[in-house]
Chain A
Amino acid sequence: KAGVTQTPRYLIKTRGQQVTLSCSPISGHRSVSWYQQTPGQGLQFLFEYFSETQRNKGNFPGRFSGRQFSNSRSEMNVSTLELGDSALYLCASGQAGALYEQYFGPGTRLTVT
């Protein structure tokens, strides 16, 4: 079974631009969560989608948004990029009903210059 895939793996953007990151969960998984990892703040929860609905949201500004498609693939969008948005963005998928095991993708390394 293929694991969680994230595209692109690396991205360089300029301050003020916007970016869209993509996550394809493990086949059959309907839950997708996003995390931001930075050296200063560590791993922080962004949001979680299940069956195309956002179920939980972390404490991030509205510039961070996401969505999930009917095939469970998810996208995360960051608008008006700031230098502090430079981070590793990790996506995790989980099965409905299979409690609390999340499988993480390799992440997208975003650098904002």
Chain B
Amino acid sequence: AQKVTQAQTEISVVEKEDVTLDCVYETRDTTYYLFWYKQPPSGELVFLIRRNSFDEQNEISGRYSWNFQKSTSSFNFTITASQVVDSAVYFCALSRTGNQFYFGTGTSLTVIP
């Protein structure tokens, strides 16, 4: 069975603070893919990153960074120096086949100016 847990329902931070969004996943597959999506108030899910199970290298993209640890089945997302525009709901997702995603329940991030 595939499952994604995002234990943090809501997070509020003050602008310029760093924030980490947690994601823990469950799967019995050895090959799988992990994703992060951002959902702004407009509703459209915006792709942020994809990681396959064989690539545990951390990734940095501007103010965004991701930490993938298979040992703890976690794929955490950090925003450095948060900005008001980062306010959104963030979803972590797991895919075994690539065409069926299992989403976490999402973390609503509010960045206070």
Residues in A lying within 8 Å of B, measured CB to CB: 31, 33, 35, 42-45, 48, 50, 55-56, 58, 88, 90, 92, 94, 99-107, 109
Please tell me if B45 contacts chain A, counting CB pairs below 8 Å.
Answer: yes
CB pairs A–B below 8 angstroms (23 shown): A31-B99, A33-B99, A33-B101, A42-B104, A42-B105, A43-B101, A43-B103, A43-B106, A45-B100, A45-B101, A45-B102, A48-B100, A56-B100, A90-B43, A94-B98, A94-B99, A100-B35, A102-B101, A103-B47, A104-B46, A105-B44, A106-B42, A107-B44
Please tell me if B50 contacts chain A, counting CB pairs below 8 Å.
Answer: yes
The total of interchain contacts (Cβ-Cβ below 8 angstroms) comes to: 59
**Which residue of the partner chain B has the closest CB to A103?**
B47
Return chain B residues, CB-CB under 8 Å to A99. Answer: 33, 98
Chain B 33-53, CB-CB to A under 8 Å as 1, else 0, gives 101010000111111001000
A92 to B37, CA, bound (A): 12
Please tell me if B90 contacts chain A, counting CB pairs below 8 Å.
Answer: no
Please tell me if B80 contacts chain A, counting CB pairs below 8 Å.
Answer: no
Q: Are A33 and B100 in contact (CB under 8 A)?
A: yes
A57 to B1, CA, bound (A): 15
Return chain B residues, CB-CB under 8 Å to A43. Answer: 91, 93, 101, 103, 106
User: Looking at the complex, which one of B47, B102, B103 makes contact with A101 (CB distance below 8 Å)?
Assistant: B47
Q: Are A58 and B100 in contact (CB under 8 A)?
A: yes
A42 to B97, CA, bound (A): 20
Q: Are B44 and A101 in contact (CB under 8 A)?
A: no
A44 to B3, CA, bound (A): 12
User: Looking at the complex, which one of B37, B99, B101 makes contact with A55 (CB distance below 8 Å)?
Assistant: B99
With A42-B104, A42-B106, A56-B100 known as contacts, the answer to whether A107 contacts B47 (CB < 8 A) is no
User: Looking at the complex, which one of A48, A50, A90, A100 makes contact with B45 (CB distance below 8 Å)?
Assistant: A90
With A45-B102, A56-B99 known as contacts, the answer to whether A107 contacts B43 (CB < 8 A) is yes
